[in-house]
Amino acid sequence: MKKILTIICALFVICSNGQKVTIKYNGYTSYFDLQNNIPDSVTWTITKEHLLSSKTPRGNKFHSTDGRKDLNKDYAHSGYDKGHQSPYDDNYYSPDAEYQCFDFVNMVGQRHILNAQTWEHLEVFSRHLALQYDSVKVKTSWVGIDTTIGVDKVVVPQYCIKELWYGGKYEKYIIPNNDTCVKHPFTYYKVN
C-alpha cells in the first residue's frame, strides 16, 4: 500500500492557473489557492509550551477574512467536514490563534471518518511527540482532486498528507480521503 501511495503521489501533477496567497497567522502559515479554495499546504510548529498553556474555549466560528469567499454554504450538506489542517488543539493557547484556526485558509474537505478518526489520531500522536521532544514542525498538504463542492467549486483532495519533523527525525503520512481509511491505523499510511 505504501509503495502504491508513493507512486500515485508521484504521478499526480496539480495544475492551477489560479492565484496563490501566503497568509501568516499566529499559529500557522497557509499557502492558499484562491482558485481551488483550499490551501496547497499549511505549516506550523506544535510546542510543548503552547500545549501546557491554558485553553481558550473553542469557538467553532468558521469564517473567511480579507475579502476571501465565505465557504460555509459550499460545505453545508456536502458530505465533507471542514477539516482543520492546523487544529484547534494546536491553537488554543491564545484567543487570536484559536479564532484564526477556524479561517477557511486552514480547511480542506475531508470525509468525516478521516477527519474524526484517522486524521485525529495522527493529530494526537503529533501532540504527544511535541510533549516528548518540546516541539514538532508540521506541514499538511494534499494530492489529487476527488471532486469539487458547492457553487464555489471547493476542491476536495483524494489524499491528505501530513509531514512531521522532530528530534532529528522525519515522518510522512499519505492518507486516502475516503471512508476506507479506518481499515488501518494511521501508522499504516506512513510512507518513509
**Active-site hit among 50, 63, 77, 84:** 84
- State the DSSP H helix or E strand holding residue 48, giving kind and residue range, or none if neither: helix 48-51
Q: Where would I find the beta strands (DSSP E) of the chain?
A: 20-24, 29-33, 38-47, 80-84, 107-111, 135-149, 154-166, 169-176
Q: Is 84 a catalytic residue?
A: yes
DSSP-based three-state secondary structure for 125 = helix
Give the H/E segment covering residue 5: helix 2-11
Buried b (16+ CB within 10 A) or exposed e, 55-90: ebeeeeebeeeeebeebeebbeebebbbbbbbbbbb
State whether residue 83 is helix, strand or coil: strand
Q: CA 143, 17, 81, 49: dihedral to nearest 10 degrees?
A: 80
Residues marked active site are found at 84
